[in-house]
Amino acid sequence: TLLAPYTTLGVGGPADSLAITQTYDETLDVLHTTDEPLWFLGYGSNCLISDEGLRGTTILWRGGEISREGAMLTVDAGVLWDDLVRTTIDHQLWGFELMSEIPSTVGGAVFGNIAAYGQQVSDTLQWVEVYDTNSKQMHTLQHDDITFAYRQSSLQSEPHRKILRAGFKLSTTPLHA
């Protein structure tokens, strides 16, 4: 299956195997039944795929759940970033509002520590659930287990860790009036 139709730039060769998932459980099913190499593509924004394509299994995780307990959110990695931003604004939770319209999934946002206008994902991130393709196990990394810099995270140098969920603590008071 050509990946070009699944990227915002419209380029990319074939995937050996392509799985399109919408839920956490569907994504876990694919993870538990596939071998490496394993790629997460999300909505295909901010990526350039070779005409040679991707070996192994490519997962397009497009969807997921957002759950809220007070100012604490648990969000699946396949959720579109701007859907999360709109949800937080609708619930009068603050910390993401200046990062609206950034094309990404939540997993991509954490992976790249997206940032805009003085806000960055790492400001509110509490934890990340990852699937380790080496051990075939899930782990929860706390904020301090990950090194962040401007538009960077140490997860970028750990391709064996695939982001599944993230926990964020937002503010109930507007930060920018």
d(CA 3, CA 14): 6
Token couple for 19: 């799985």
Query: pLDDT by residue (tens digit) across 67-90?
Result: 999 999 999 999 999 999 999 999
Q: Are strands 137-142 and 152-153 parallel, antiparallel or unpaired?
A: unpaired
pLDDT of residue 47: 87
pLDDT of residue 107: 96
d(CA 139, CA 109): 19
Instruction: Please name the residue ranges forming H helices in the chain.
Output: 24-32, 81-90, 106-112
pLDDT of residue 177: 54
Share in percent of the chain as helix, strand, coil (round to 5): 25, 35, 40
Task: Find out whether 168 and 73 touch, Cβ atoms under 8 Å.
Answer: yes
Query: pLDDT by residue (tens digit) across 22-40?
Result: 999 999 999 999 877 899 9
Give Cβ neighbours of residue 50 (< 8 Å, ≥ 6 apart).
Answer: 12, 13
Q: Reduce the DSSP state of residue 36 to 3 states and report it.
A: coil
Per DSSP, the chain holds a count of helices (H) and strands (E) of: 3, 12
Q: pLDDT truncated to tens, each residue of the chain (177 aa)?
A: 999 999 999 999 999 999 999 999 999 999 999 877 899 998 888 889 999 999 999 999 999 999 999 999 999 999 999 999 999 999 999 999 999 999 999 999 999 999 999 999 999 999 999 999 999 999 999 999 999 999 999 999 999 999 999 999 999 988 665
For the chain, how far is it from start to end, CA to CA, in angstroms? 48
